[in-house]
Structure 1
Amino acid sequence: MTLTLYSNPMSRGRIARWMLEETGAAYDTVMLDYATTMKAAPYLSVNPMGKVPAIVHDGHVVTECGAICAYLADAVPEAQLEPTADERADYYRWLFYAAGPLEAAITNRSLGVVPTETQQRMVGYGSFEAAIAGLEHAVAAHSYIAGERFTAADVYVGAQVIWGLQFGTMPKLAAFEAYAARLTERAAHRRAAALDDDAMAKMAS
């Protein structure tokens, strides 16, 4: 198996890195600079959007963090990050919720975009408050997003919560803080963070 991560340590690529570390699979890393290599022809042949992260697994390209998490769970079944039959509904529900309504709600709020009451019927998240309430309900229901066992969905949903608390884009609710604490204690999360922090320091020097 050949597996390559294309990333930047100051990007959503940190999510893909965390997921890779959870799988335990061997992989290569190509760090890209926003202004140059990320927009150059070699990488655009991987992702024409010129955005990171992307992974290439045995010649197959996967982009979008939620898709990368789900794909790697399938590709490395021995890591046991896929959902069981009982976990599958919540696994997919909240994985796609975080990638769709939640991210849109957080991004729009950060950009100062607040839908009117009429516009709330048009946007998938309704309102920021509704999107946050939905997520709070999900993380308070179990120890992990799909039940009492960590799965790949926790990497993506958890990254949203961890970053939201760190950068103030999500409220510091008790359910979020407890969930984030469980995730940041994981050895794979610590390894991934150390690798990306080291890469960031090298790129800055």
Structure 2
Amino acid sequence: MADNLIFYTHPQSRGRIVRWMLEEVGHPYKTEILQFGTSIKSPDYLAFNPMGKVPTIIHDGTVVTEAAAICAYLADVFPEAGLAPPHGDRRRGPYYRWMFFAAGPVEAALSNKAFGFEVPTERRSVIGYGSVEDVVNALEYAVTQSEYIAGDRFSAADVYVGSQIGWGMMFGTLEKRRAFEAYWKRISSRPAAIRAREIDDALVAAQQQASQ
């Protein structure tokens, strides 16, 4: 039933990450499109997401926000999709390691770079990501150790890490290293990734047409 999994999003947001994850999972879901500055800040939405941001999911009454957390949650509650290493499997280490590295240091470093903020050299030791160069080098290491982030099988970590890499290269906050391009090409051609992009691109086109 789609009603037991509700997805709040906007097609031009980080909700695109979760859309991809939902398409990989394959469980029916209901989509609620919110608008920036209006419904996304409504009292009804703020009641379960005080940040007033997307994405958010509600699954059987459980509210989950933050794209990385949603990806991890969905992988665990729908184990039949095979999007997370089993509990007790050693591959769960790199799976968590790189997913949350992307959610923490990568997100912070590339966001700061986009806004022209650079941590002074003498202060790098007190900020979580150190320097953009350190983060990018570590990210390159992550995508070159095996075919996928957690080994030889695609997982939810690839959805999240891959999205950060794809967006970073698209918007110019992440340099187009050969390793990043090869990894992104490998995962972005998955049928679920293509379906997700088509759904959100169609929503963007419909919104643009409606505003004309």
Say yes or no: TM over 0.5. Answer: yes
User: Corresponding residue for 2:206?
Assistant: 202
Query: 1:13-65 CA deviation, whole Å, 9 max, x = no partner?
Result: 00010000000000000000001100111111121110000000001100000
Shift of 1:86: 2.8
Identity value in percent? 53
TM-score (normalised: structure 1): 0.98
User: Corresponding residue for 2:79?
Assistant: 77
1:30 to 29, 32, 50: 32
Distance 1:195 1:201 in 2: 10
User: Corresponding residue for 2:195?
Assistant: 191
Distance 1:54 1:46 in 2: 9
Distance 1:175 1:142 in 2: 11
Where 1:147 maps in the other structure, the secondary structure is coil
Where 1:90 maps in the other structure, the secondary structure is helix
TM-score (normalised: structure 2): 0.95
Structure 1 stretches of 4+ moved >4 Å: none
Distance 1:141 1:15 in 2: 23
User: Corresponding residue for 1:131?
Assistant: 135
Distance 1:145 1:33 in 2: 33
Distance 2:75 2:177 in 1: 29
2:100 to 77, 96, 105: 96
User: Corresponding residue for 1:52?
Assistant: 54
Where 1:143 maps in the other structure, the secondary structure is coil
Distance 1:112 1:82 in 2: 36
In the alignment, structure 1 residue 177 sits paired with structure 2 residue 181 = yes
Distance 1:110 1:166 in 2: 12
Distance 1:86 1:148 in 2: 13
| Pairs aligned (count) | 205
Where 2:13 maps in the other structure, the secondary structure is coil
Runs of at least 5 residues in structure 1 that lack an aligned partner in the other structure:
none
Distance 1:167 1:101 in 2: 18
Structure 2 counterpart of 1:193, which letter? R
Shift of 1:166: 1.1
Structure 2 counterpart of 1:121, which letter? S
1:39 to 38, 41, 49: 41
- What is the root-mean-square deviation in Å for CA atoms of aligned residues? 0.9
